[in-house]
Structure 1
């Protein structure tokens, strides 16, 4: 499988774990049915590599939710007595096994990250295993195809080899450094398998990730005639979306959809940019069409404020 995208954040009391101030130390826990729960030094809770939704009650107790399963997480005020629960819907729950617990690796163990390249590209025949910890025995949380560009969160030595903590913006894990080469951002995974309808490809889909600390990004792409490509952007109600399509020929148009599938902006020609406030939270879709008779290249610019 490839890295899975995190669920859209809900309103109210649901926040990304990175926004909390919990005093529970980073950990990795193994739960029933092969589920791995991690909380890293950046304060992000992930379930099998995908970012979870978090309901914060106090610095010593919060609940992470992913795939319909709730994981209660608690500890004493000093960080001791860590407990990670497992509450699947419709059946009895239990507790997960704490595999590791503690602070982030010491700076002396870090060989990349702040002092290394900001991004890596996967260079491997087939797919690269991404694991929950820097160990060949750790749970595989994803498999990345060659060419995937990921963010470098830091590298360290373990088991006689160099491991790097990498992220595609939604999910993170550890990969052997010998299969990673220096690359330039922004983070962008290779295009997904075309979505098929009635036996033929109708469009391709790609999730847009912004470089860390940035509120926008841009790509250069191309489309076959009478084909379309969908860009997915996670955003919250009340934020402003900016989009511009710069085409190298006639016949390029785009449509913007709300998370519920309704149309935010009807089909619009490439010479008109969009800037407007969003009224739903979740994955918004910008679908670019090539209505011409020949393949065309184009540039897309995204911004969310």
Structure 2
């Protein structure tokens, strides 16, 4: 094999293999009762079971196991954006702890909402889609708003028995509590 063919083969096949390097330490909770744990450098566990990890670049990874895909994006400030897809449902995961610049940080780093009010509505859509076994596109979820010391996102969908209404509750810091 010539040097050029070997280089081309490495470029094609070398980037498509699973990789563990560089994935950060973190713990996250996703709708649909998905718990994510990643050790620094891997592996990544979904609900306690090791997932297959794919590295797309130094800032983006996907962990896959049992029809669940968790996307891990490392932002320029080393914070994390974690989301999931399970069947027809998808949503944003809540990062509980991660490693930033060599030290473990419990979230939130500064007093702020764990999720913005628009993220709460998207999170609620994912949680409700999973709970009611409905496509997220078939749900309507209003923007969340503060009621007393917590936030609520209200939504509904039309089914064979008429409209079903639901509420997603978040605590005062923006952490998901329940779906009723």
Pairwise same-fold verdict (TM > 0.5): no
Greater radius of gyration (CA):
1
| TM-score for the superposition, normalised by structure 1 | 0.27
Structure with greater strand share of residues? 1
Structure with greater helix share of residues? 2
| TM-score for the superposition, normalised by structure 2 | 0.44
